[in-house]
Amino acid sequence: MSAPGERCPACGNLRPAGTGVSGLCPLCLLQIGLEHEQEGQAGWIDPETWECRVLNLLGAEGGETSFLAEQGAPVKRLVVLRQVHVPIASPDDRALVTARLRALTSFDHPHVARVIGGLISNERGLLLVMAYAPGTPLETYCGRTHPAEQDRLSLLLAVAEAIGRAHDRGLVHGALTSSRVVVTRRAGVAHAVVTGLGVEMMRQRPPDPSADARALVELCGTAGVKMPSGRLRSAREIADWLRAYPLPSRRSTPTDIAGT
Amino acid sequence: MTDRNQEASRDWAGMPRQFATTRWSVVLAAGDADTPGSREALARLCEIYWYPLYAFARRWGHTADEAQDLTQEFFARLLEKHYLGDVKPERGRFRSFLLASLKHFLLNERDRVLAQKRGGGHMPIPLEFETAEGRYRLEPRDPSTPETVFERRWALTLLDRVLSQLRHEYDESKRGPLFQALQGLLTGQADTPRYAELGALLGMTEGAVKIAAHRLRRRFGELLRQEIADTVADPADVDDEIRYLFKVLSA
């Protein structure tokens, strides 16, 4: 840990002298409190304390419209509102939606844009409120920056592991495309974030996890990593395959690529 | 909803709102009534946040002995409800209340308190004065006002407490070494090893370390918000209070 009075490497602010807090930057610690606000009960956002204004239309795919919005309270930040057409009129419908919302909002992964909660708009029905993940779509990022093979593998592995983790929790993306994986930079390192998890989940019939596995294989292809067709049937298998991928430094040892 | 310049939309239909209480709201709701819950809540808050008051009294110009006596007497009177009757319940903050009450106390009561024999009074809550002066000597010797010293120390006390709680939780679940290894990642310390190096150190994959660090941050955020919520009258004020403390520490 560095001494008080120095600049924090993360936020660049001068640390207040005489700080305790284990030598950590108190300003960064406070910032964490603003990132992790507590949401409503059982996945529903409390409409009494929630305010937002829509900034612009992000897109309309398959009848689902999404907006970029600025949330004003209880915390100020950008969010994505995704309109989901599901029945919510009857108590049974509402219970089903609530159960799925609860599962989605409790899923917290560094490589997945979080579902913050559900909201019922008088105008638009059910809206999923999701964390806004700014960044460049994976395919565009690879096309523009030509990252090294190891870096591409690292991004893809993070995505495959995140999807695998979601499947372990019974969550399925169902609409994974290269535009729904964005690359941003965190602490100077490229960081992949899967967006849109939850939209398909909210439909009456949750999609099959194998659709995510097929989408992952395609995603790897668009990022320039060719996978053996038809052999990898789950996100976990794809993650394992990516982990064991023969990098240039290892290609001279054929045993490393056994099983690929 | 579709108008870019539309003011905050309020067309959300209702899911029932849960009524939430905080330690400070319990104290405020009790007012002059001496209920066991409110007395305990106030005592607990005082036990946590006594040091900023001591630092304020020292910066105000009192010696270490005087500051101890004054802080002790102030809390004794506070817990005997000599002050709470005057508190306005609407949107009060425990931080603001304590500072205003202490200033009032120092202006009006100090001569009488200091004339009394030291150590004769009953100590209502355990205050670790042995360590207080050592801590105070580490305070920066800048021209900060006593109010600034109080508020800065308040913010740091709060963060220290949250870190201790988090460390305690990890220790309790036998994950103390994980906390030690990951705590630098809470704020992106320059000398913290990268995820892969930490993974090798901890016997975890790089991905597992990332998730563990993410959870550590999330839990820290939850505990921080809970701790701040206990010092404001309405949980909806937590974000404003965080921003205020941010300003205090950035100044």
pLDDT at residue B169 in the model = 94
What count of other Cβ atoms lies within 10 Å of the Cβ of residue B40?
13
Considering only CB atoms, which chain B residues are within 8 Å of A52? 8-9
Q: Which of residues 49-78 of B touch A (CB under 8 A)?
A: none
Highest mean pLDDT among A99-108, B36-45, B167-176, B208-217: B167-176
Q: Does the pLDDT value for residue A117 go beyond 50?
A: yes
Cα gap A244→A214, rounded to integer Å: 19
B243–A34 C-beta distance less than 8 A? yes
Q: How far is A20 from chain B (nearest CA, A)?
A: 7
Q: Does the pLDDT value for residue B41 go beyond 90?
A: no
pLDDT confidence of A241, banded at 50, 70, 90?
A: very high
Place of tokens 């709201």: B25
The answer to whether B11 contacts chain A (CB < 8 Å) is: yes
- Per the prediction, chain A carries an average pLDDT of 81
pLDDT at residue A144 in the model = 92
CB distance B234 to B91 below 8 Å: yes
Please tell me which of the candidates A10, A41, A47 has its beta carbon nearest to residue B12: A47
Burial B102-126 (b: 16+ CB within 10 A, else e): beebbeeebeebeeeeeeeeeebbe
The answer to whether B113 contacts chain A (CB < 8 Å) is: no
Kindly report, residue by residue over A27-78, the tens digit of the pLDDT.
Answer: 888 888 877 655 545 688 877 667 788 899 888 876 678 899 988 766 678 8
- The residue among A6, A22, A155 with the most chain B CBs within 10 A of its CB, best to mutate, is A22
Kindly report, residue by residue over A156-214, the tens digit of the pLDDT.
Answer: 999 999 999 999 988 999 889 988 999 998 767 889 999 989 888 887 666 788 999 99
Looking at residues A132-154, what average pLDDT do you find?
Answer: 92
The CA–CA distances, whole Å, from B102 to B34, B60, B98, B134 equal 21, 11, 6, 22
The token duo for A2 is 């560095």
The token duo for B179 is 């906390």
pLDDT at residue A157 in the model = 94
Please tell me which of the candidates B160, B210, B246 has its beta carbon nearest to residue A30: B246
pLDDT at residue A2 in the model = 44
Cα gap B223→B162, rounded to integer Å: 6
What is the chain B residue with the closest CA to A13? Answer: B250
Residue A190 pairs in a beta bridge with A185
Percent over 70 (pLDDT), chain B: 69
Looking at residues B6-20, what average pLDDT do you find?
Answer: 38
pLDDT at residue B190 in the model = 63
Cα gap A202→A217, rounded to integer Å: 24
Please tell me which of the candidates B138, B220, B243 has its beta carbon nearest to residue A18: B138
pLDDT at residue A15 in the model = 66
Cα gap A161→A182, rounded to integer Å: 15
Question: Would you give the end-to-end CA distance of chain A in angstroms?
Answer: 43
Kindly report, residue by residue over B73-119, the tens digit of the pLDDT.
Answer: 888 887 776 566 565 554 478 888 888 888 888 887 766 766 665 54
Beta strand A115-121 with A64-73 is unpaired
Of residues A225 and A36, more confidence is placed in: A225
A24–B187 C-beta distance less than 8 A? yes
Please tell me which of the candidates B15, B142, B188 has its beta carbon nearest to residue A187: B188
Cα gap A128→A199, rounded to integer Å: 8
Q: Which of residues 17-46 of B touch A (CB under 8 A)?
A: 17-18
Q: What is the residue type of A211?
A: A
Kindly report, residue by residue over B137-194, the tens digit of the pLDDT.
Answer: 777 777 678 898 899 889 998 999 999 999 999 999 999 999 999 988 887 766 667 7
3-state secondary structure string, A237-255? HHHHHHHCCCCHHHCCCHH
- The residue among B6, B187, B225, B234 with the most chain A CBs within 10 A of its CB, best to mutate, is B187
Cα gap A57→A68, rounded to integer Å: 6
pLDDT confidence of A16, banded at 50, 70, 90?
A: low
Looking at residues A132-155, what average pLDDT do you find?
Answer: 92
What's the angle, vertex CA B238, arms to CA B230 and CA B154, rounded to 5? 65
Considering only CB atoms, which chain B residues are within 8 Å of A21? 156, 159-160, 163
- Per the prediction, chain B carries an average pLDDT of 76
